[in-house]
Each structure stands twice: as C-alpha cells, then as structure tokens.
Chain A
Amino acid sequence: MLGYVPQNLLSRCLTGTHHQLGSEATEATMKLGRQYYMEVGQPQRVNFIAREHSYHGTTLGALSMSGHVGRRSLYIPLLSDYIHRVSACNSYRQRHIGESDTAFVNRKAAELDQKFRDLGPNTVIGFMCEPISGATLGCVPYVPGYLAAMKAVCTKYGALFILDEIMCGMGRSGTLHAWQAEHSDEPGHDCVPDLQTLGKGLGGGYEPVAAVLIGYKIVNALKSGSGSFLHGQTYQSHPTTAAAALAVLRIIKKENLLENVRKQGAYLSSLLYKKLDSHPYVGDIRGMGLFWAIEFVKDKKSKEPFDPKLNVANRIHETAVSKKWSMSVYPCQGTADGIRGDHIIIAPAYNITSGDVELIATTIEGVIKEVFDTLAKETADQQNGSVRNGV
C-alpha cells in the first residue's frame, strides 16, 4: 500500500531528473567504498549506515541510501537491504531541554557506535551524512563537534567517513567544503572525509556535473590492487562539462565570493530572525552561509506540523512566484517525519548584494503573511459553511 504521499514529493520522484547527477555521485561512492574493502581483503564489509530524513539521490542505490520516507515510499521493494539508519542531527526537534552541544553530540556518537556494534563493526563499509542537510530536512547544520565525533566512531571500527556535500558544498555554506569550517589538524577535530560527493554548485547550472573526492587510502588501495575503479560512464570526465565547472570554481575564487556568502548570509539570517522568528507559524529558522530554511509548524510550542493536505510549503512557493511577489523559493514537505512538515529553502547566488538580501527578506515576510491570512480565511469559511449546513 502506498498510503498518503504528498503530491509535490510524488511529482519529484516520478519525473526523475531531480538530483540525477548527485545520485550518480552517490552510486559511485557506494561502489568505491565496497571496492576498497574488496581490494584490502575485507569482503565481509557490505553494510552502510546512513541517517533518517536524509537525501542522497533518486537512483535505486542512492535512494536506498536516502532516509526520506516520502521519496522512498513507492520503491521500497526495489531498494537495498544493506543500508541501516541512525537519527539525523536535528537540534530543533531532537535536543533535550538544556542539553549542551557536547552532550547532544555525545548522544549522536553513542547511537552510531551502538549501530556499528549491532551490525558487527567489521561488516560496515561506512557512515554517510550530509554535513548540512539538503532539501529533505531543510538546511539543518551539524552541531559543533558532530562531524569529528562521527568520524572518530568510523575510524575506531575501521570504516569510511563519507560526506554528501551535493547541496551544501562548493561554497554554499561559506567555506568551499562544508567540513572545512569544522576541521582542524588538532587531535579530536579531524573531519576530513574518506569520500565526498559534490554536485549542484559544482557546475552552477552551466553544465550538469557531479564529482566524488577520494581519500588517499582508497586511491592507494586501488592503485596497488586491481588498478582501476570497476565503474565507468559514457560521459565520465566530459570535457566541456569540466570546463564549465572549472570556470565556476575560478569565478568563486576570483570574485572572492566565499567572503560574500559569509557576509550576506549573516545579514540574511539576521533579517529573517528579526522579521519572522516571532511569527506564530514559523517553528525554526536555520542554515549556514547562503543556505537557509524556514520550517513551518501549526503549533510553535509542541512543534506539531500542518496537515500535509494543506500543502503549506507549496502554497508559499506558488504565492512567492505569483505576479505580486515574483520570487522563486524552494518548497519541501516531510520535514517533521518524512510525510508531515513543511519548509522552504532560500539559497540565492553567491554574488547577491545587501539590497538583494533585503528584497528576499521583505518578500518572504510578505508572502508568509499572505499565505497564512488566506489559510485562516479558508478555515473560517469552512467552519461558517459547516455551521450554516448544520454540521
């Protein structure tokens, strides 16, 4: 049985091009991880640990890795049994009252450690996560210390630490790679991934391109072992595509755009908090750099999401893009539990001005007011109708 699947999720699943190349990066990552352990004589390593509410792509391997309930729902019988889950790192919904960063991170590390032990530590290829959640959870950043703590667990059990930076990487979060804001060569702060996926901002829309960055131990094992990665694609290393990605990367450097991402990101977040934090239906505003999400809830205190049938996130997108406001924002459902919950993502170009930031914040404030005013009116009309009809 399908059960109820929000319409906007279904349409994204069925039409198939969403995250297509990022998906292929995930596929290549999974196969590289498996091949590495075959090369070094540990063929018993067959399991991956990924997170709930994650999204690593739309193809069957990548969707197996993904934890988003709605996007998986149709295809569950076709997905791999070798993917296991731990919880996401969602400070808004999971942190206990008064719980410190350290205590929260320790809880996450203990959960991952337990999952390794449940599976048999020497059966695990690696743990994969988005340092800052992408579309499905909506820009939820790692809690300070989280990445290093998770890597330490992987290292302890000889498994790979894998980061999905398809959406949050390539400068989106304020550093070229999201892990770089947390990494230090000091003991206890190592966040360098063994494998890292990139996409989206890598080509900047000029060409479709994704990539996998591969650590030394994997490269060395392949080099001294079979000598090649048992995976090839017709358009792998495509010349004009790479030229476009290289141009984008050089523009980010030449125009000092990472500094602008940090500067305008700080301004954007301050305006969003100022204008929207006290709004009765805004549950959480979170993100990093120029990668921000606003999560909507029916009840601020209990964090109860809206009925998915109200399509709150889509309404916000549709209102935003209407003639009156003329702005495109990214809507998503399933934020709270994979089916219920709504958020929008704001992820403008790295070269926006302070004036652009003000336009975004003012427009979103106006759009949110209009959408919830309309919803309130619809609810009131329905109730009046029910009263009139004697229901």
Chain B
Amino acid sequence: MSPSAVSQLSPIHAAPVQTTESAPESYLLDRDLNTALPYVVGSNGSYILLEDGREIFDACGGAAVTCIGHGNTEGREAINKQGDQAAYVHSMFFKTYSTESLAEELITSTGKKLAKVFIICSGMFLKIYYLDV
C-alpha cells in the first residue's frame, strides 16, 4: 500500500476536509484533557488520513488492534449483511448464525482443545439466579 493510495479514497471513506484555525473546547472527554487530538477523515491499509492531509503509517494498529489493516471492505460488508438480517437480538431468547459460526471457527482453531466461547460486546445486564451448592 503506497501513501498515495489513501489520497484516492472513495467519498465513502473520506469526509469533507474542514480546517479549524483554533480548536474549540471538546465536548468529548478525550484521553488527555489538555491536548487537542487531530481528526481522522480516512483510512486505508496501514495508513490513517488526517484532516490536514497528512498520511500516518499505523505501525502499532492502535493498541495491536487493526490486524487486517484499515478500510477492509469485506469486514464492513459482513457487518452490513448481518445487519440486514438482524442487528440485535437478545441472547437470552435468540441466536444468530454469525455468533454461532464465530464460536465454531474459534473452537476449531484451538484443535477443539477448548469447548465453548462466551462472546462479549459490552453492556452489563443482571440476570438473577440462585446457585445451590
């Protein structure tokens, strides 16, 4: 991936570039309350595009997160495809093939040395049972 590839991002990737002379106070609780962060308006492969036009090579994947790079269309299409079927159902009443398939592939990847997967996507929910031991 060459840096120039990012410059040719499709309009879906890149929002209109707006430059602000002095950054206004953020409403978001940023990581550091006293430092203004640059806005990202595009990304592709290993590159992140800033609104001032700079292209940053992401050598750490954020915190070792973006393992297949940025802007992968297959990843986004998979989200949309599942979203067309059902974006959310409650796990106490229903399940979807995407969650079961993910669990199956993860267990297969261990050589079936582990048995089941618990998938977490945040949100605390209290379910009350009493365990008699």
Given the known A-B contacts A247-B78, A348-B46, are A213 and B107 also in contact in the complex, defined by CB atoms under 8 Å? yes
* A291 lies within 8 A of B64 (CB): yes
Contact B58 A349 (CB under 8 A): yes
Q: Which of B33, B62, B72, B117 contacts A214 (CB 8 A)?
A: B117
14 pairs of residues in contact across A and B, judged by CB atoms under 8 Å: A192-B110, A206-B75, A210-B121, A211-B120, A219-B115, A232-B127, A233-B125, A321-B56, A328-B57, A347-B64, A350-B68, A356-B1, A356-B46, A359-B57
Tell whether B109 is near chain A: CB-to-CB under 8 Å. yes
Quick one: CB contact mask for A213-253 with B, threshold 8 Å, 1 for yes?
A: 11110111000001011111111111111111111111110
Interface residue? A341 (CB, 8 A): no
Per-position binary interface string of chain B over residues 56-72, scored 1 when its CB falls under 8 Å from any chain A CB and 0 otherwise: 11111111111111101
Contact with B along A4-25 (1 / 0, CB 8 A): 0001000110010011110011
A328 & B56 in contact (Cβ 8 Å cutoff): yes
Q: Are A248 and B75 in contact (CB under 8 A)?
A: yes
- Choice from B65, B77, B78, B114 contacting A192 with Cβ under 8 Å: B114
**With a CB–CB cut-off of 8 A, which chain A residues contact B88?**
235, 238-240
Are A206 and B72 interface neighbours, CB within 8 A?
yes
Residues in B52-99 with C-beta less than 8 Å from chain A: 54-70, 72, 74-79, 81-83, 85-92, 95-96, 98-99
Q: Which B residues form the contact surface with A (CB < 8 A)?
A: 1, 29-33, 45-46, 48, 54-70, 72, 74-79, 81-83, 85-92, 95-96, 98-99, 101-102, 105-107, 109-110, 113-127, 129, 131, 133
Selected from A168, A207, A327, the residue in CB contact (under 8 A) with B79 is A207
Contacts of A38 in B (CB 8 A): 131, 133
Chain B residues contacting A246 (CB-CB under 8 Å) are: 78, 98, 101-102, 105
What is the chain A residue whose CB lies nearest that of B128?
A: A230
Chain A residues near B67: list those with CB within 8 A. 170-172, 200-201, 204-205, 248, 252, 257, 349-350
Residue contact B127 to A348, C-beta cutoff 8 Å? no
A330 at the interface (CB under 8 A from B): yes
- Give B50's nearest chain A residue, CB to CB: A326
Interface residue A122 (Cβ < 8 Å from any Cβ of B): no
When the two chains form their complex, are residues B125 and A242 in contact, meaning their CB atoms are under 8 A apart? no
Q: Which residues of A contact B58 (CB under 8 A)?
A: 328, 348-349
B76 touches A206 (CB 8 A): yes
Contact B57 A360 (CB under 8 A): yes
Q: CB-defined interface of A151-193 with B at 8 Å, one 1/0 digit per residue?
A: 0000000000000000110111000110010000000000011
1/0 per residue, CB under 8 A from B, across A79-118: the answer is 0000000000000000000000000000000000000000
Within 8 Å of chain B (Cβ to Cβ): is A28?
A: yes
Distance of A384 from chain B, by nearest CB (Å): 30
Instruction: Decide yes or no whether A363 CB sits under 8 A from chain B.
Output: yes
A73 within 8 A of B: no
Q: Is the CB of B129 within 8 A of A242?
A: no
Question: A166 vs B116: C-alpha distance in the bound complex, in angstroms?
Answer: 17
Cβ–Cβ < 8 Å partners of A230 in chain B? 127, 129, 131
Contact A236 B102 (CB under 8 A): no
Given A177-B109, A349-B58, A356-B46, decide whether A251 and B74 contact each other with a Cβ distance below 8 A: yes
Chain A residues positioned under 8 Å from B78 (CB to CB): 243-244, 246-247
A209 vs B102: C-alpha distance when bound (angstroms): 12
B62 A205 Cβ-Cβ under 8 A: yes
Q: Is the CB of A326 within 8 A of B95?
A: no
> What CA separation (Å) do A72 and B57 show in the bound complex?
32
A352 within 8 A of B: yes
Q: Is A41 an interface residue (CB 8 A)?
A: yes
- A154 CA to B16 CA, complexed, in Å: 56
Which of A218, A230, A242 is packed against the most chain B CB atoms within 10 Å?
A: A242
A213 touches B117 (CB 8 A): yes
Report Cα–Cα, A232/B72, bound state, in Å.
31
- The verdict on A64 contacting chain B, using a C-beta distance below 8 Å, is no
User: Which among B59, B110, B113, B125 is the interface contact of A232 at CB below 8 angstroms?
Assistant: B125
Chain A residues whose C-beta falls within 8 Å of the C-beta of B61 in the assembled complex:
201, 205, 347-349
Q: Is A39 an interface residue (CB 8 A)?
A: yes
The residues of B that contact A219 with a CB separation of less than 8 Å are: 115-116
* CB–CB A244/B91 < 8 A: no
Instruction: List, in ascending order, chain B residues with CB within 8 A of A171's CB.
Output: 67
Closest to B47 in A: A326
Contacts of B64 in A (CB 8 A): 134, 167-168, 172, 200-201, 291, 330, 345, 347
Cβ 8 A contact of A239, one of B48, B99, B107: B99
Residues of B within 8 A of A220 (CB): 115
A205 touches B115 (CB 8 A): no
Chain A residues lying within 8 Å of B87, measured Cβ to Cβ, are 239-240
